[in-house]
Every structure is written in C-alpha cells, then in structure tokens.
Amino acid sequence: MTDAPHATPVTDQAAYAQAVQTAVDAAAAYYGAGDSSLDDDAYDRLVRGIAAYEEAHPDDVLPDSPTGKVAGGAVIGDIPHTTPMLSLDNVFSVEGLAAWVAGFERRLDRPVAAWSVEPKLDGLAVSARYRGGRLVQLVTRGDGTAGEEVSHAIGAILGLPAELSEPVTVEIRGEVLMTSAQFEAANVTRVEHEGVPFSNPRSGAAGTLRARERTYRVELTFFGYGALPLPPDDASDLATRLRELPHSEIMQVVAGLGVQTTAATPVAGIVCTTVEQVQARVEEIAALRAELPFGIDGIVIKADLAADQEQGGFSSRAPRWAIAYKLPAVEKITRLVDVEWNVGRTGIIAPRAVLEPVHLDGSTVTYATLHNPADITRRGLMLGDHVTVYKAGDVIPRVEAPVVHLRTGEEKVIDFPSECPRCGGEIDASQQRWRCARGRACHAVASVSYAVGRDQLDIETLGETRIVQLIDAGLISDFADLFTLTRDQVLTLDRMGPTSTDNMLAAIDQAKAKPLNKVFCALGIRGTGRSMSRRIARHFGSMEAIRAAGVEDFQQVEGIGPERAAILIEELDELVPLVDKLVAAGVNLTEPGFVEATAVPADQEDGSVTAPPLTGMSVVVTGSMTGALAELTRTEMNELIERAGGKASSSVSARTSLLVAGEKAGSKKDKATKLGVRIATPEEFADLVQDLIS
C-alpha cells in the first residue's frame, strides 16, 4: 500500500485559476461522456494542489473550485435525488486508515462494533427506483443532489432486473460498469459502426449508459451497493427494515430481491470486528485486483450498524462513517511513440508499444503489450496517439485504446512487417498471433537457452555463447538434439578441450533423468511456467498420457480453462517431432511418485489411504531456511509444498493455512500472528514432510 499521491504544484493565483478551470472541465467530461483528458491519478493530484493553494490563500478561493464538492462540481442532470448521493473521502495507506478509524471512534466516543469492507467499483453510480417491484426510473449520481435520467437503459443492464423478485417499493443504488470482456466486445462493435473505440471501460460505460439512439447494442453490468426507502418517509415494513438493518444485512436483502451484488465474487463484502481484520481484508482485495473481470479503484470501509451511521452523520460531500481506501493508479494516459516487433522463442511475432514514460502502479512504464496485429487494428491505434495504459499487480502493462478526442491530426498509421523481423523469412499470418514460418527454429538460441535454464533442465555448462556455437555449427536445432551430441562433435568447436567437453556432456546426461515437469517446462509452451508444468505432470504422470489428453482432460488440471487447454493441444501437436526426439534419446518423460487417480494405494493395515501431509493447505514460506531445508531454494521449497499436497503462495492472508518462518521472517510473520495463522519453524516443517525430503 502507498501513501497519498503528491499534489500538482499550484504556485500563484494565475496558475490556481487555470488549475480550477482544468479540473472543472475534466470533471464535466469525466462525469459526462467519460472522456476526460486527465486520468484519475492526474485529476486527484490536480485537486490536491488546488486544495493546498486554497488552504494557504483562503481569500483567493474561486466559487467554481472542485474542492469539497460531489463529482468535482460537475452538474449533470435535473432529476432530484430522494436522498443525496454523496462522494466518499479517501485514505491512501494503512496508517491513514488507522487514523481515520481512530478519529471516527473518538467522534462516537466508543469503539465501532462492526465494519463492512467491500470493493470500490470503477464505474458510474446510479439510483434505480422500483415501485411495486418494477424498475420505473434510473438516474445518474450527477452532482449528488440531482442527476440525469437514463431510464431508456432499463432492461439492458445485466444484474439490474426490470422486475424484482418481490413487489416492493425501494431505491437500489449501485454501480454501472463494463467488465473486461464487455469492454473488448464493445470496442469491436463500436469500431465496426463508428470507427472510434472507447478509451477505457469507464468511458465505455458512461457513453453507453447515456446513448439513446445507437443502432447497435453494447452490454453493461450492474452491482448493487445499497438500498433505501422510496420515498424517504415510506412507512412500509421493508422501509423500516432498511432504516434499522446493518449494511451487511441490507446487502442480503438487495441480493434476495434479484439484484446482482459482489457477494458471488472473490471480493465479496465482509464484516470485520477489528481494525486488524479490516486491514487484512483490504490487502486481500488489493491482491485480487489484477484477477478481477471488472475494475476496482479502492476498497470501501463503512460502519456496518445503522446506529453508528446515524451518530456519525454527514459532511457536505461525504458520509463521516465511511471511507474509500484508494489503491495505486493502474490506468493512465500517455503517448504511443513507436511499435517494436519482437520474435519470441516459439516464433511468435509480438508487437510492443513504446511509450512516453509514465509512473504507474509503483513503477515507471515505458513499454506495453499490444498482443497482435489484429489487436492493433481492432483498437484503431496510431503512432502519436494518446493512449490509456493499464497495469495491475505484476501483470504486464497493456495498451487499452486510443483517447481519440485528443488527436491532433499528426498521428500516423502503424506499419505492419511484411517479413519476419528476426530472420527475414515468411510470416504465417493465418492466425491472429502472427508467427515466423520457421517457428522455433527462427529463434533457436532463445528456445534452447530457455530449455537449459535453472527452472527447466538446469544444464549449467551451457551458456548462450556455447549454444550459438552449437547452432552455427549445425550440431543442434532444438534442445532435444543436445542429448544426441557426441564427444567428437563437441571437440570440433572452438575452445572446447577434452575436460570442458566431458563436463558439458556429463551435465547433459544428468539432465536426461530430470522429472517430467522439468522437461515439460523446457518445451516452452505458452502459459506453462514451472508451477503449471508441475501441475500438469503430477496430474497425468507421463508424456504419453499428456499427448493423449483432450480439451476436457486438460481442464481437470487446476488453472486450465477451455482456452488454455486448446492452446496446449495445438502446441503439443506442433511439438510432436521434438518430443519424438526426446523419446528416442532416452530422456525421462515420467513424473516420480505419480499415482494414477483410479488406483487406490492401501498404505494402512486396514486398507485406508493416507493423504499427503499438506493436502488442502495454503502454505507461505518466508525468511532463511535452516536445518534439513537450509540448502533448498525458494523454488525447491514451493515444489516440496506441492509434492506434499499443498498450494504454495507468496502472500499471507486469512486463507493461509501455514507460514514456514525462517530466520529474519519479517512482516509476513507479524501479519500471520495478527491473523492467527499457524506458524512453523523450518525444523517443524521438515518433520511434517520428512518422507518427501530427499
């Protein structure tokens, strides 16, 4: 978690006036069509700079200033809200959250009994008004007091039913957004009809929600986050319950009425009773952000009980009983400077965006993926475009779309290669992902270097220089050829004497006995790193079984869906000659300790089966290992956990079953202690898995 973002410096009255105008224009565009020239982070920094100037120069404050106003003062729509739809104040760090909680509890003069923690969805807040169970009016948040009517969208938003499961009168509040899949589909449709893609999911949702006369359909999604009586003085049983129930129970009512909530997602709202639990859930949601099919830009923490909310009250723009823990920006606007075409080890020709450097999610981003030529065409990208760049967690940054309204007319068409950028050979453009017609042979050095790497076959004596020698001499074309090299062949190479030759051949011979998961990883199939290769090898047990597997068989392996299964089968078909060479060379293609699922080993006197010691457990390793584990690398520790039936993880959460804490364990041990996670020393863990330690 990071501290609050820095403010954009505002040095004098003229700069202040310009900053206010820029912020007002940006807010109007953002809450209007969603096409602001500023990304969220830039806007937040600008407003903080304005606020800092106003604090130092209170007599200079302009009436249009966005500070202290809902939606930055952008007035959109004239439909009054039954109850104001306010914004949320923000914190940016664990320390800021703790300080806010302490301040709120001082205001109450007592501890808060329960906190509700849920994701802050990155969409448009709307009010859905139901009468007798039928959705009769849909209104945007606008300036918090009044919004724009968008009732024409009724019946066209997933998760927001036109009719509830009960004939009640109620106002449901929530967020309209585009999921990642909906955004991709929307841009395909939009380019076909208008030639202009949406710059990001939020602008797509904003533009679509307000569009009244489009000739095509774009799908949206709704998640409810609250409910209140309609009108406010309603005396019905439901209205009474909504005024008295805790927020968490109100959300159960909302879901029970048939409205979609985040309850079925990995970031479902939960109730916490301590600040430590709140912080742990914040970190869990933040860690899941990159995997979600929809955007979030923070986590909302609110007092769960109605009495606490009532006593907490409201400021002019936000409830005092709720706060938004803002996450680092994962989306910014920068300029597309160039496109590079790189050839991977499998022959895939991958375009890479060269960007004006931009600070994003804790790092400076200069390059981003563009996937393939069809992706460039679909997004309508041009050199010189302002583009939206997205990054979350450890995910490689990607270019989402151009910000079309910022074009100047000087942008240029992106040229696609007519021949392989690496070898000059023909390009196979029959699939969306272009490929050199020579396949892996185009980039044999990279392919073989990967195969002999530490996490694959681990042949230390084979550096890139030696691999280049072997390929240039015509002795190998892929890593399978290594296992048929003769002493006489190797001795013909420069600087290869008898001793170095014998050492290299001995290392290659040792690699022949590596387990199947290492050999499979060496194949370099897309989407199969060392962890996935271990899962595949442990599931099938032999290369023969893997080659015979179909799409449904591969989907039985954790983490493999239909799309990845199809890729696996496609690439395994391409690798038939390579695998045949491995078989002929006598390379081990079985996984040690594999027990076929249909076999029932009776290892107890009564015929019962003993499950692996870590079955169903999520295990985290931290610090330096000692004792019997002292020589194991972190990768080897993770492999040991998986052989013992567990799942290796890198971060501690409430779902962690066991932390193996070595010397200098640090913050992970502290967090595990707070969460009540079981902690074991390396020696205790070694005793637990002693039968698996070689």
Question: Can you give the pLDDT at residue 71?
Answer: 58
pLDDT: which is higher, 381 or 379: 381
Question: Can you give the pLDDT at residue 543?
Answer: 94
Average of pLDDT values for 558-567?
85
On the question of pLDDT at 100 being above 90, the answer is yes
Equal fold, 331-419 vs 439-511: no
pLDDT: which is higher, 183 or 394: 183
Average of pLDDT values for 217-231?
93
Question: Can you give the pLDDT at residue 355?
Answer: 95
Question: Can you give the pLDDT at residue 33?
Answer: 57
Supply the residues annotated as catalytic: 120
Residue 224 · residue 259 · CB < 8 Å: yes
Query: To which H or E segment does residue 138 belong?
Result: strand 134-140
Question: Can you give the pLDDT at residue 670?
Answer: 85
335-354: pLDDT as tens digits: 999 999 998 877 889 899 99
On the question of pLDDT at 395 being above 70, the answer is no
Strands 146-147 and 157-158, how do they pair?
Answer: unpaired
- Spatial separation of the C-alpha atoms in residues 112 and 484, rounded to whole Å: 71
pLDDT: which is higher, 23 or 89: 89
On the question of pLDDT at 660 being above 50, the answer is yes
pLDDT: which is higher, 604 or 385: 385
Strands 90-91 and 146-147, how do they pair?
Answer: unpaired
Question: Can you give the pLDDT at residue 256?
Answer: 95
- Spatial separation of the C-alpha atoms in residues 574 and 569, rounded to whole Å: 9
359-372: pLDDT as tens digits: 886 678 899 988 88
Q: How confident is the model at residue 32 (pLDDT cuts 50, 70, 90)?
A: low
Whose CA is closest to 187, among 411, 403, 413, 401? 401
251-270: pLDDT as tens digits: 999 999 999 999 999 999 99
| Helix-helix angle 444-451:464-472, to 10 degrees | 130
* CATH topology for the 439-511 domain: DNA polymerase; domain 1 (1.10.150)
CATH class held by domain 618-692: alpha beta
- Spatial separation of the C-alpha atoms in residues 401 and 368, rounded to whole Å: 12
Query: What percent of the chain lies above the pLDDT cut of 70?
Result: 92
* CATH topology for the 13-74 domain: Helix Hairpins (1.10.287)
Q: How confident is the model at residue 117 (pLDDT cuts 50, 70, 90)?
A: very high
Q: How confident is the model at residue 30 (pLDDT cuts 50, 70, 90)?
A: low
Q: How confident is the model at residue 435 (pLDDT cuts 50, 70, 90)?
A: confident
Question: Can you give the pLDDT at residue 502?
Answer: 94
Q: How confident is the model at residue 601 (pLDDT cuts 50, 70, 90)?
A: very low
On the question of pLDDT at 276 being above 60, the answer is yes
On the question of pLDDT at 608 being above 60, the answer is no
Question: Can you give the pLDDT at residue 255?
Answer: 96
Provide the mean pLDDT of the chain: 87
When mean pLDDT is compared across 36-40, 490-494, 587-591, the lowest value belongs to: 36-40
Q: Would you state the torsion angle of the CA atoms of residues 531, 534, 539, 543, taken in this order, to the nearest 10 degrees?
A: 130
pLDDT: which is higher, 411 or 331: 411
Average of pLDDT values for 512-524?
93
On the question of pLDDT at 26 being above 90, the answer is no
Q: Could you tell me the two tokens for 180?
A: 């990642």
Query: What percent of the chain lies above the pLDDT cut of 90?
Result: 49
Q: Name 555's Cβ contacts closer than 8 Å, sequence gap at least 6.
A: 561, 562, 565
User: Residue ranges of the domains in the chain?
Assistant: 13-74, 90-326, 331-419, 439-511, 516-584, 618-692
Residue 633 · residue 530 · CB < 8 Å: no
On the question of pLDDT at 49 being above 60, the answer is yes
On the question of pLDDT at 31 being above 80, the answer is no
pLDDT: which is higher, 579 or 433: 579
Q: How confident is the model at residue 149 (pLDDT cuts 50, 70, 90)?
A: very high
pLDDT: which is higher, 200 or 475: 475
Burial of residue 170 (CB within 10 Å: 0-12, 13-18, 19+) is buried
Question: Can you give the pLDDT at residue 548?
Answer: 92
On the question of pLDDT at 226 being above 70, the answer is yes
- CATH, domain range 331-419: 2.40.50.140
On the question of pLDDT at 664 being above 80, the answer is yes
CATH homologous superfamily of 90-326:
DNA ligase/mRNA capping enzyme (3.30.470.30)
Burial of residue 172 (CB within 10 Å: 0-12, 13-18, 19+) is buried
Question: Can you give the pLDDT at residue 2?
Answer: 38
Task: Tell whether domain 516-584 is in CATH 3.30.160.20.
Answer: no
pLDDT: which is higher, 45 or 185: 185
